[in-house]
Amino acid sequence: MSTPKIVLVTGGGSGIGREIATALLAAGHTVVVAGRTRASLESVAGADPVVADVTDPASVAALFDHVRARYGRLDLLVNNAGMFGRGAPVPEVSEEDWQAVVDVNLTGSFRCARAAFELMAAQDPRGGRIINNGSISAHVPRPYSVAYTATKHAVTGLTKALALEGRAHDIAVSQIDIGNAATEMTAGFGAGTPQADGTRRPEPTMDASHVGELVAYMAGLPPDANVQFVTLMATTMPFIGRG
């Protein structure tokens, strides 16, 4: 078992975030789960639930103040909070639709990473780790997903920039690109999902617990080792050769 760490998981009350938080707790870490719904956060047994909204600067500041005041440090931030947004052709995507996805997936991730940088660079011993939740859509889009795809491509740029600047502060930054983990978001994939050729076909999914296991492994790495980018996906999903 790795040395117990102080961990913050955003979007930690459901779906992939819940699986990540559960795996990290099982590995012996202290886990703060943040999200907008208290009931779902409190259902993660053993975690420290904090209601927070990554689209609200004051809420994020309060979240990191809580971590600093209660634990004195942060060893791992998992930037997991995200949303798919409205699935629609580009002409039907409104400014509000677009901005809602950008605010959560991109700006929210930046906002939390910035706060984590400030804390990790100043703590003793300094440093830590940030893991961003990317997506298969950080590589190739699904139909009718312009905002989600654009933000996930942007998260890759964010990860690279953070990883570069993190070197000076002993902060390792990684990205996990997940494909078809079985969650509420992918619940309908077995019945058919839009394909690039205009058809709808079922897609396979994988157990979301594998994502938690991977994050727990990455969390246990020594400070001088990092998984920079990793793709974890259902083996036969249409990714290689998509389109």
d(CA 207, CA 8): 22
Peptide bond into 125 cis (omega under 30): yes
Which tokens hold the place of 50? 């904090």
- Residues in CB range of 203: below 8 A, 6 or more apart: 180, 189, 190, 193, 234, 237, 238
- Residues forming beta bridges with residue 119, ordered by sequence position: none
d(CA 199, CA 188): 15
Tell me which of 71, 144, 148, 217 is the catalytic residue.
148
Has 148 been annotated as catalytic? yes
Pick the closest to residue 67 from 13, 31, 102, 101 (CA basis): 31
Q: What is the DSSP letter of 36?
A: S
Amino acid letter, residue 33: V
Q: How far is CA 206 from the centre of its chain?
A: 17
- Residues in CB range of 209: below 8 A, 6 or more apart: 19, 22, 23
d(CA 159, CA 122): 21
Which is it for strands 193-194 and 200-201: parallel, antiparallel or unpaired?
antiparallel
Q: List residues with catalytic annotation.
A: 148
